[in-house]
């Protein structure tokens, strides 16, 4: 199939394969330059995107003896002002995530300085450019991409000739960083970044993007015209730039979203449903009212020819869509069910309607909260509870010296706490307890018992910081122990890859690791999505209708999470409260179903159902390179597009 809409070579594989591929290419460059009598020069990035690459490099250093002693590195950017020792600095990030674990020489490491006086910034930037030239130029530059399309911190309006400089950060960029800084107000308004021209001078470029929240900007960067407002589009001009994206980030690309407009496709029932839904929404006609001309005029003649006439095709898709709708009577009854909730409110936010119906159907339900969610509790909540504990103890004369000292310790810590500082252990415990109490209150809204709540408190989350540890054997063991104890027939898990801080992804990894060792019969897996995005109707296997009363009950359960109401600490790009997002999302799904000509419902939740071990990603993977760039194919584009 043609991928002519794509203006830059693109590889679509899982993130683990992306990390391995780029790490292998870096290892090749290091060895090649050394054999040539020179040294490799690497352009490095920060954030969650490259961490997997750095872990692979560390593994190669430890297990294969990959030598970094002569490697020179240049980082893309740094916040300004920012002291190197700050927990928010990219200087500290690089040492913690890479440099401390390999034998790179400190004098070969270059990171823009965020601590120079303002009057000296221009000189510092010129010196940075000079150092890159002196090193011989960058052999391979790793990039992420922001929601504005920025590479480095080259915000909208950055020119193709821009060089290393101080720049004001876009509102969207600062909002994206708010989680790391525990609030948007704490995010610096400026940064120092390599310029677009500096980046484009690298011999090879690998841009990496993962997650549904990057899908829209990836389509713009890959398929759109070059535009100063989207700095990543400049990469289309580079002879050896490759975009590496996972399935979620590739979802909006034409070859995945509407492949029939590019040419012949291999038709499956799922693709037929997807195409007919698209046609219905494009023409604003219900499924059963589509005619032959609608198909012919919208690149779908090959699909029409499979059925001869529109009527049989419309009917087949309509019946397939109707079969997805399951009211309470068609939902599981009397089953052993485990609901995994990454944070203590994802269960009611994402599947509150289903949870209510499962309880009414007398299923044996355990809700397993995988993390404490303690970092998402504001300090003022802890102050309020500490004050309550003091008053409660005084009123009932049960305050002892230990309790009083502990309350005083908590309050003194909060009084002196710096922005982003890791909470003292008693504060972490109080925040965890707040979230746990809210979670119990949430499921009690549906008539469930507190005993049905299990708090796994997985170790990977217990860093006290936004950035978490990798999933380890103990995380997997805890999940496995629960599965072995409960022997569930149905398991509900978060399939939401748009979670801004990645906890949903990591919790899913722990579940998958446990299921691979599970001794019982593989359970049926129901994937829900969180507060960020809903399953597409074509993707969903089950659509669960909710009445107005049932949606109200779901919102009441969300209201019980008082520490997350009014203003959540990590809202992503949506400032609305979670209940507002849920109401809009669930009602929108029902309205779309109605417009397709199916029965009208007040609201709907959507689920994808698989047997354990079956992935939820697309079955096929594709790698594309532009025909006009075949003669100068990027050396890094060596990944095989296979499952």
Query: Does 229 lie in the same domain as 276?
Result: no
Q: Which domain holds residue 293?
A: 255-324
Between 370 and 470, the higher pLDDT residue: 370
- When divided into structural domains, the chain yields a total of 3
Residues 553 and 338: their CA atoms lie apart, in Å, by 21
DSSP per-residue string spanning 417-477: PPTTPPPPHHHHHHHHHHHHHHHHHHHHTTT--GGGEEE---GGGTTSSSSPPPP-HHHHH
Strand partners, 368: 340, 454
| Paired residues of 447 in beta bridges | none
Average the pLDDT over 201-209 and give the result. 98
CATH number at 38 reads: 3.40.50.1360
- Taking the C-alpha atoms of residue 245 and residue 208, their distance in angstroms, rounded to an integer, is 6
Cα–Cα–Cα angle for 328, 329, 331, rounded to 5 degrees:
65
**73-131 pLDDT, tens per residue?**
999 999 999 999 998 899 999 999 999 999 999 999 999 999 999 999 999 999 999 99
- Tell me whether residue 1 is in a domain: no
Residue 637 or 463, more confident:
463
Whether residues 227 and 181 fall in one domain: yes
Question: Is 149 part of any domain?
Answer: yes
Give dist(CA 252, CA 246) in Å, integer: 12
Higher pLDDT, 623 or 347: 347
The pLDDT confidence band at residue 30, using thresholds 50, 70 and 90, is very high
Residue 398 lies in a domain: no
Give the pLDDT of residue 500: 46
Co-location of 317 and 447 in the same domain: no
Give the strand pairing for 524-528 and 603-611. antiparallel
3-state secondary structure 167-191: EECCHHHHHHCCCCCCCHHHCCCEE
Is residue 386, in this structure, part of any structural domain at all? no
252 in Cβ contact with 216 (< 8 Å): yes
With vertex at residue 329, the alpha carbon angle to CA 328 and CA 330, rounded to the nearest 5 degrees, is 90
Note the pTM of the prediction, 2 decimals: 0.85
Sign of CA dihedral 613, 617, 619, 622: negative
Tokens standing for 405?
Answer: 């000292």
Integer Cα distance of 162 and 160 in angstroms: 6
- Same domain, yes or no: 238 and 289: no
Of the candidate ranges 290-299, 450-459, 543-552, 563-572, the one whose mean pLDDT is the lowest: 563-572
Q: Do 135 and 160 sit in the same domain of this protein? A: yes
CA distance 244 to 623: 10
Residue 613 pLDDT more than 80? no
Of the candidates 359, 355, 381, 358, which has an alpha carbon nearest to the alpha carbon of residue 369?
A: 355
638 assigned to some structural domain: no
Average confidence score pLDDT of the chain: 91
Condensed to tens digits (0 to 9), the pLDDT of residues 154-172 reads 999 999 999 999 999 988 8
Does the annotation count 539 as an active-site position? no
With pLDDT > 70 as the criterion, what percentage of the chain qualifies? 91
| The pLDDT of residue 628 is above 70 | no
Q: Are residues 316 and 233 in the same domain?
A: no
State residue 499's pLDDT score.
Answer: 54
Q: Reply yes or no: is the peptide bond before residue 568 cis, omega within 30 of 0.
A: no
Same domain, 83 and 163: yes
The Cα–Cα gap between 349 and 439 comes to: 11
- Quick one: what percent of the chain has pLDDT higher than 90? 79
Average pLDDT over residues 628-639: 39
Domain stop point among 307, 324, 341: 324
pLDDT tier, 570 (very low <50, low <70, confident <90, very high otherwise): low
**Looking at the predicted structure, is the pLDDT value of residue 615 above 50?**
yes
- Does residue 260 share a domain with residue 156? no
Which 3 state secondary structure label does DSSP give 611? Answer: strand
Residue 392 lies in a domain: no
Residue 616 scores a pLDDT above 80 = no
Q: Give the model confidence (pLDDT) of 217-256 as tens digits.
A: 999 999 999 999 999 999 999 999 999 999 989 999 999 9
Tell me, yes or no, whether 163 lies in a domain: yes
User: pLDDT at position 418, please?
Assistant: 85
Based on the domain organization, do 318 and 367 belong to the same domain?
no
Return the pLDDT at 1.
44
Q: Which of 189-193, 396-400, 569-573 has the lowest mean pLDDT?
A: 569-573
Instruction: Return the structure tokens found at 546.
Output: 């909710």
Decide the pairing of beta strands 336-341 and 490-494.
parallel
Largest CA distance in the chain: 84
Query: Does 213 or 197 have the greater pLDDT score?
Result: 197
Query: Does one domain contain both 339 and 201?
Result: no
pLDDT digits (tens, 9 = 90+) for 310-326: 999 999 999 999 999 99
423 belongs to a structural domain? yes
Give the model's confidence band at 497: pLDDT under 50 very low, under 70 low, under 90 confident, else very high: low
Helix pair 425-444, 401-416: axis angle to 10 deg: 100
Instruction: Tell whether 545 and 603 lie within a shared domain.
Output: yes
Instruction: State the Cα–Cα distance between residues 582 and 575, nearest whole angstrom.
Output: 13
Interior/surface letters 530-568, b for 16+ CB within 10 angstroms, e for the rest: bbbbbbbbbbbbbbbbbeeebbebbbebbbbbebbeeeb
Residues in contact with 367: Cβ distance below 8 Å, sequence separation at least 6, in sequence order: 339, 341, 347, 355, 439, 443, 448, 452, 453, 454
Residue 306 pLDDT exceeds 70: yes
Which is the catalytic residue, given 17, 78, 155, 436?
Answer: 155
Contact 56, 170 (CB under 8 A): no
Q: What tens digit of pLDDT does each residue of 246-262 get?
A: 998 999 999 999 999 99
- Measured on CA atoms in the order 373, 374, 379, 383, is the torsion positive or negative? positive
CATH code for the domain of 447: 3.40.50.10320
- Shared-domain flag, residues 335 and 318: no
Q: What is the mean pLDDT of residues 280-307?
A: 97
């Amino acid at each position: 199939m043609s991928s002519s809409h794509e203006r830059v070579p693109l590889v679509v594989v899982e993130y683990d394969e992306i990390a391995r591929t780029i790490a292998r290419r870096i290892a090749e460059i290091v060895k090649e330059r050394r054999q040539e009598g020179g040294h490799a020069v690497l352009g490095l990035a920060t954030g969650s995107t490259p961490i997997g690459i750095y872990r692979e490099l560390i593994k190669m250093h430890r297990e294969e003896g990959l030598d970094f002693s002569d490697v020179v590195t240049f980082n893309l950017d740094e916040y300004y002002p920012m002291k190197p020792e700050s927990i928010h600095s990219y200087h500290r990030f690089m040492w913690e995530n890479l440099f401390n674990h390999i034998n790179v020489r400190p004098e070969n490491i270059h990171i823009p300085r965020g601590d120079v006086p303002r009057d000296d910034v221009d000189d510092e930037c010129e010196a940075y450019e000079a150092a890159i030239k002196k090193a011989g130029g960058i052999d391979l530059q790793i990039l992420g991409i922001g929601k504005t399309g920025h590479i480095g911190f080259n915000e909208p309006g950055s020119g193709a000739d821009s060089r290393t400089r101080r720049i004001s950060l876009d509102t969207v960029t600062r909002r994206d960083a708010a989680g790391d800084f525990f609030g948007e107000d704490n995010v610096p308004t400026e940064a120092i970044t390599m310029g677009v021209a500096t980046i484009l001078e690298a011999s090879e470029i690998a841009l990496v993007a993962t997650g549904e929240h990057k899908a829209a900007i990836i389509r713009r960067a890959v398929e759109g015209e070059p535009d100063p407002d989207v700095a990543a589009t400049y990469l289309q001009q580079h002879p050896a730039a490759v975009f590496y994206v996972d399935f979620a980030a590739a979802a909006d690309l034409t070859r995945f979203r509407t492949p029939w407009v590019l040419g012949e496709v291999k038709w499956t029932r799922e693709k037929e449903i997807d195409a007919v839904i698209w046609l219905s929404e494009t023409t604003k006609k219900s499924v059963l009212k589509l005619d032959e001309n609608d198909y012919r005029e919208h690149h779908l003649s090959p699909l029409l020819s499979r059925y001869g006439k529109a009527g049989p095709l419309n009917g087949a898709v309509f019946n397939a869509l109707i079969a997805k709708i399951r009211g309470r009577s068609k939902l599981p009854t009397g089953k052993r069910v485990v609901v995994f909730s990454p944070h203590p409110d994802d269960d009611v936010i994402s599947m509150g309607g289903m949870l209510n119906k499962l309880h009414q159907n007398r299923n044996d339900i355990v809700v397993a909260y995988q993390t404490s969610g303690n970092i998402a509790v504001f300090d003022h909540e802890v102050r309020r509870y500490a004050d309550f504990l003091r008053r409660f103890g005084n009123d009932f004369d049960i305050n002892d010296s230990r309790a009083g000292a502990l309350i005083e310790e908590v309050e003194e810590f909060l009084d002196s706490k710096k922005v982003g500082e890791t909470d003292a252990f008693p504060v972490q415990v109080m925040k965890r307890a707040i979230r746990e109490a809210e979670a119990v209150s949430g499921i009690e809204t549906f008539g469930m018992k507190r005993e049905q709540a299990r708090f796994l408190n997985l170790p990977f989350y217990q860093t006290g910081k936004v950035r978490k540890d990798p999933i380890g054997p103990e995380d997997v063991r805890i999940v496995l122990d629960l599965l072995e104890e409960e022997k569930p027939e149905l398991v509900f898990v978060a399939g939401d890859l748009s979670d801004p801080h990645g906890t949903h992804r990591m919790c899913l990894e722990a579940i998958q690791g446990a299921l691979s060792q599970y001794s019982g019969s593989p359970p049926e897996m129901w994937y829900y999505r969180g507060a960020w995005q809903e399953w597409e109707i074509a993707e969903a296997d089950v659509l669960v209708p909710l009445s107005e009363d049932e949606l109200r009950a779901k919102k009441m359960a969300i209201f019980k999470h008082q520490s997350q109401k009014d203003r959540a600490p990590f809202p992503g790009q949506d400032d609305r409260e979670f209940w507002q997002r849920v109401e809009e999302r669930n009602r929108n799904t029902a309205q779309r179903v109605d417009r397709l000509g199916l029965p009208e419902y007040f609201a709907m939740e959507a689920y994808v159902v698989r047997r354990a071990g079956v992935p939820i990603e697309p079955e096929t993977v594709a790698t594309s390179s532009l025909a006009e760039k075949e003669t100068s194919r990027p050396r890094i584009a060596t990944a095989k597009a296979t499952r």
